[in-house]
Amino acid sequence: MKKVIEGMMLLSLASTACFAESWTGKLVDATCADQDKNTQTSQTTPGAKGSDACMPKETTSSFAIQTADGKVYKLDSAGNAKAAEAFKTNHNKGSMNVTVNGSMSGDTVKVDSINAQ
């Protein structure tokens, strides 16, 4: 019986790991990206008004990641804290590329880690 329970626990942990995803792209201000998306026509992609138009600032508190195909994924509150720390530590005068690891929860990424590139 103990072996069966151990096997079930291992299977449960393995299945949880299968849901982890990874996104690579540009760290952006989520509020700006939302406003930009709402003003775009169906013929343009979000962020098209300028490559650094939604670049985060020191005061940014809501972050998202914009992938190369133009999709924007908002980060959860834990992800926002991790993104703020990564931004403060690694930003420069240009855009900041990151890899976000986590899982989708609705329309938001539940962030496990953020790695600046």
Q: Average of pLDDT values for 93-112? A: 92
Asked if the model's pLDDT at residue 11 lies above 90, the reply is: no
Query: What confidence category does residue 31 fall into, taking pLDDT thresholds of 50, 70 and 90?
Result: very high
Token pair recorded at residue 50: 């300028």
Quote the Cα angle for 67-63-54, to 5°.
70
Q: Are strands 108-116 and 72-75 parallel, antiparallel or unpaired?
A: parallel
pLDDT, mean of residues 81-106: 90
Q: What is the mean pLDDT of residues 15-39?
A: 82
Would you call 82 helix, strand, or coil by DSSP?
A: helix
- Angle 72-22-114 from CA coordinates, rounded to 5°: 85
d(CA 31, CA 34): 5
pLDDT exceeds cutoff 60 at 7:
no
Question: Which regions of 30-86 does DSSP assign to beta strands (E)?
Answer: 63-67, 72-75
**51 CB contacts (<8 Å, ≥6 apart)?**
95
Rounded mean pLDDT of the chain?
Answer: 81
At residue 25 the predicted structure's pLDDT band, cuts being 50, 70 and 90, is very high
More confident residue, 101 or 37: 101
Average pLDDT of the residues in 22-50: 72
Coil, helix or strand for 113? Answer: strand
